[in-house]
Amino acid sequence: MLAPLPIPLQRALGKSEISFKTRNGETVLDDLYQQGCAKIRLARKEPARLTEAVLINTTGGLTDGDDYTTNARWGKGTTAIVTTQAAERFYQIRDAKTSKAKASIVSNLKVGEDACAFWLPQESIMFDGAAYQRKTIIDLAESAKLVAVESSVFGRAAMGESVDHGYCREIWQLRIAGKLVFADAFELDGPVAKKLNHPTIANGANAISTIIYAGPEAKEMRDMANAIFDDSNDIGRASCLGPVTIIRILSADSQKLRLLVVPILEKLMNFATSSNSNNSLLPRVWSL
């Protein structure tokens, strides 16, 4: 008797595209496309606030075989934020030890001349047994500015969770005027929590963030971030690669991580927009 074939499950597929343009000196929506579980909503424009687009995954999370793609484009002279409604969640796949199927998130960002792009998704949360790959590909014009962040939480410490087994791969590629200036890949496979506890990997931290700033005075932005780390007990440091500042943060949990990420992003955003206001320019969904 033949063994029954595994039942194919319906997978979550989502694709969204958004672009911005200027009209009468304001950044407005140029084009919008959404398919499957990927939705986009624009926040109501208010005085002293930037144009904000909010990405929504209607499935509430991703598991093996799910695929989520975002294409975002900032036209010449635009300034806008693209963020997410909430923390993305990566759930346990059907067979964490043998399956090669992974959840996939791909974000393609293109920033035109004299544009200022803010790519500010909220944290992603990895649950025990999850497997995913996330790739962020950025193409900047030489005169463009960028502030981008990706944060990963490996089990919610407040809930007593840990990721005893799983797989994750985080990939960055950044090009300026077509030239690759930064490429990075971070991978954890197998006993994730055990590896994070190793002193040469994360020294017990289970929340990690990467912040990228591209624009003028990158060294000053590096020094600003390092001054914040000097006053903190968490692990973090900033370095420069030409016009690009790379900031790494490791923390014990997501709450402590955000307490470091927020002031750094606020300072970077104020500098990038030449804002002297004391009001935060962070997306409003970050405070919900």
User: In this structure, is residue 226 part of a structural domain?
Assistant: yes
Question: Would you say residue 45 has pLDDT above 70?
Answer: yes
User: How many domains does the chain fold into?
Assistant: 1
Q: What are the phi and psi torsion angles at 84 (to 5°)?
A: -120, 155
pLDDT of residue 18: 98
User: In this structure, is residue 149 part of a structural domain?
Assistant: yes
Question: Would you say residue 31 has pLDDT above 70?
Answer: yes
pLDDT band at 6 (very low <50, low <70, confident <90, very high): low
What is the average pLDDT across 232-247? 91
Q: What are the phi and psi torsion angles at 226 (to 5°)?
A: -65, -30
Name the nearest CA neighbour of 52 among 68, 28, 71.
Answer: 28
Question: Would you say residue 287 has pLDDT above 90?
Answer: no
Residue type for position 52: E
Q: Mind listing the pLDDT tens digit for each residue in 172-190?
A: 999 999 999 999 999 999 9
Name the nearest CA neighbour of 50 among 83, 85, 23, 80.
Answer: 80
pLDDT of residue 3: 62
User: In this structure, is residue 89 part of a structural domain?
Assistant: yes
User: In this structure, is residue 127 part of a structural domain?
Assistant: yes
User: In this structure, is residue 261 part of a structural domain?
Assistant: yes
User: In this structure, is residue 169 part of a structural domain?
Assistant: yes
Q: At what angle do helices 254-272 and 218-230 cross, to 10 degrees?
A: 150
* Cross-strand pairs, 38: 57
Q: What is the DSSP letter of 278?
A: S
pLDDT band at 278 (very low <50, low <70, confident <90, very high): confident
218-256 residues labelled b (16+ CB within 10 A) or e (exposed): beebbebbeebbeeeebbbebeeeebbbbbbbbbbebeb
Structural domain containing residue 223: 13-153+165-281
Between CA 137 and CA 149, with CA 88 as vertex, the angle to 5 degrees is 45
pLDDT of residue 100: 63
pLDDT of residue 161: 87
User: In this structure, is residue 124 part of a structural domain?
Assistant: yes
Q: How many whole angstroms separate alpha carbon 36 and alpha carbon 162? A: 31
Yes or no: say if 209 and 261 are a contact pair by the CB < 8 Å rule: yes
Structure tokens that stand for 24 in this block = 């009468």
Q: Mind listing the pLDDT tens digit for each residue in 83-140?
A: 999 999 999 987 655 556 899 999 999 999 999 999 999 999 999 999 999 999 999 9
Yes or no: say if 172 and 180 are a contact pair by the CB < 8 Å rule: no
Question: Would you say residue 4 has pLDDT above 80?
Answer: no
Of all residues in the chain, the percent with pLDDT exceeding 70 is 95
User: In this structure, is residue 209 part of a structural domain?
Assistant: yes
Q: Mind listing the pLDDT tens digit for each residue in 209-223?
A: 999 999 999 999 999
Residues in the chain: 288
Question: Would you say residue 251 has pLDDT above 70?
Answer: yes
Q: Which residue has the higher pLDDT, 243 or 279?
A: 243
Q: Say if residue 81 is exposed, middle or buried (CB neighbours under 10 Å; 0-12, 13-18, 19+).
A: buried
